[in-house]
Amino acid sequence: MIYPWQQTLWHNWQQLLEQRRLHHAILLLAAKGSGRGVLARQLSKTVLCQNSQVEPCDVCHSCKLFDAENHPDFHVIKPEQDGKQIGVDAVRQCNRWAVETSHLNGQRVILIEHADALGEAGANAILKTLEEPPAGCQFILTAQSLDRLLPTVVSRCNKWRLNPPDEANVKNWVESQLQQSILLESVRLNNGAPLATLAFIESGLDIRYGHLVTAFTAFVQPPHIGIYDVAAMCSADGIVTLQLLSYFLVDCLKWQQGVTQYLVHQESLPAVEAIAATIPTALLLEQIRNINNLHRQLAKHTGLNIELLVVEWLTGFIGK
């Protein structure tokens, strides 16, 4: 199974598979929430399939094992936790898998998810294998973008970028999945990523975020009531809400500067306008910087008290 916006890339791969020209190390660059894991698994399953070269037959022993997540020749490594590096031990395990003989007399596939989390040591450990993998060994690496990938890794791979669908198509697709209409700002808050948008709405975060914007907008204006409610709302959904609030404040800043195109908060413009009219630009800038720092800090250290830190940040809006 693959998603509609993955078809073009998939057809390119299928052609290469048919001609037996697929590079032994594929690097798939795709945004979070675009289903890159699904696409990487589709390719893996196809490479391993015993009946077909261009798409999984779904009936052979290999396909069955793959679907049961029990394929002895399919190996995956990724960071143990979001934001953490892939351990060097895991990378060394890849080297061992690469030289193993196939259990099913076919290919082996090694999938490295979040390849941008390969640290320098990890990358060095895999470079030689990536460059000259043993026969019958297919590497697939996935990452969000080239930004955090080590050039030494990139240079040994064949790069493919999954272009996201335009936002109108994302909106249509999510609406067709949910059988309900959705706000354009839900798509923009998720950077246009279809699966992320779908999850945003299915989890009810869209509604809770709407409430947060209302409470936050009320708090920021004198007499600044409800600081603990806003902090509790942020804390309930975790650091993702800080990211969303940061987008909101950036919209307010843009509004102050007369930029009205491509604001994220299309359907919450009255709130954007209210804040833009209340907070001086310098304070807006400072608070955007502060919330981004806070977001980074909380992403790095999981033990911190988010509610307390958000209260401290919110205090920055009072009495200036």
Residues at the site binding Zn ion, with contacts judged by CB under 5 A = 49, 51, 57, 60, 63
Q: Name the percent of the chain in helix, strand, coil, to the closest 5.
A: 55, 10, 35
Nearer to Zn ion, 66 or 139 (CB): 66
Nearer to Zn ion, 104 or 274 (CB): 104
Q: CA 17, CA 187: separation in Å to the nearest integer?
A: 34
Q: Which DSSP state fits 82?
A: T
CB of 123 to Zn ion, least distance (A): 33
Nearer to Zn ion, 60 or 232 (CB): 60
Q: CA 156, CA 139: separation in Å to the nearest integer?
A: 11
CB of 104 to Zn ion, least distance (A): 11
58, 68, 126 from 105: Cα distances, Å: 18, 19, 24
CB of 1 to Zn ion, least distance (A): 14
Backbone phi, then psi, for 62, in 5-degree steps? -65, -50
CB of 39 to Zn ion, least distance (A): 18
Buried b (16+ CB within 10 A) or exposed e, 78-109: bbeeeeebbbbebbeebbebbeeeeeeebbbb
- Contact predicate 132/138, CB 8 Å: no
Q: What does the DSSP assignment read for 223-257?
A: T---HHHHHHHHHHHTTHHHHHHHHHHHHHHHHHT
Q: Is the peptide bond before 223 cis (omega within 30 degrees of 0)?
A: yes
Nearer to Zn ion, 48 or 198 (CB): 48
Q: Which DSSP state fits 268?
A: G
CB of 68 to Zn ion, least distance (A): 13
CB of 58 to Zn ion, least distance (A): 6
Nearer to Zn ion, 63 or 123 (CB): 63
CB of 137 to Zn ion, least distance (A): 19
CB of 303 to Zn ion, least distance (A): 46
**Gyration radius of the chain's alpha carbons:** 23
Nearer to Zn ion, 67 or 267 (CB): 67
Q: CA 66, CA 214: separation in Å to the nearest integer?
A: 47
Nearer to Zn ion, 14 or 292 (CB): 14
Nearer to Zn ion, 49 or 112 (CB): 49
